[in-house]
Amino acid sequence: MLLSRKISTPEILAVLFYPAGLFLRIDVVTSAIPESRDFVSFLSNEPTKSERSGALAAIRSLFRQLHRNGVLHPDLNARNILLSRNPKGPWRAWLLDVDAVRIETPDDPRTDKANRNRLLRSLLKRSRMGDLGIGENHVRILWRELFPVG
């Protein structure tokens, strides 16, 4: 569904269901994305200005695609954005954990706002936990860099 909308997400290779008490547990197996790391890991490794600029451009592009296609990801956290780069190519942002994704009205600003708010909450939480290597004030600076107004 997402691949047909040109939204980068690893190919699903298998879905496994098995009992876990009174419930079923689901594991999803996807193709590996070489030389990739999630957004949290990327930030915590103190990227260069050039790396940061390219990765943030890729994330903006991913969010534009989600908005254009009306994709609402209820768990769009910083670990569910994977970043990869070909040695001489541009950065690419991949969407992970897509089992609960819903398709809403395309270009609806409420969907875009919900996705952005979810990511911001995740970045602030990770900052408080010490996972990002930056404080909450720096998250706000990062946010303005990621989604400049205007």
Cα 4 from chain centroid (whole Å): 18
For the chain, list the domains and their CATH numbers. Answer: 35-146 (1.10.510.10)
Can you tell me which residue has the tokens 């969907």? 111
pLDDT at residue 150, as a whole number? 58
State residue 86's pLDDT score: 81
Please state, in angstroms and rounded to a whole number, the distance separating the CA atoms of residues 69 and 48.
Answer: 32
92: amino acid identity, one letter? R
- pLDDT tens, per residue, the chain with 150 residues: 787 888 999 998 998 999 999 999 988 888 999 999 999 999 999 999 999 999 999 999 999 999 999 999 999 999 999 999 987 889 999 999 998 899 999 999 999 999 999 999 999 999 999 999 899 999 999 999 999 985
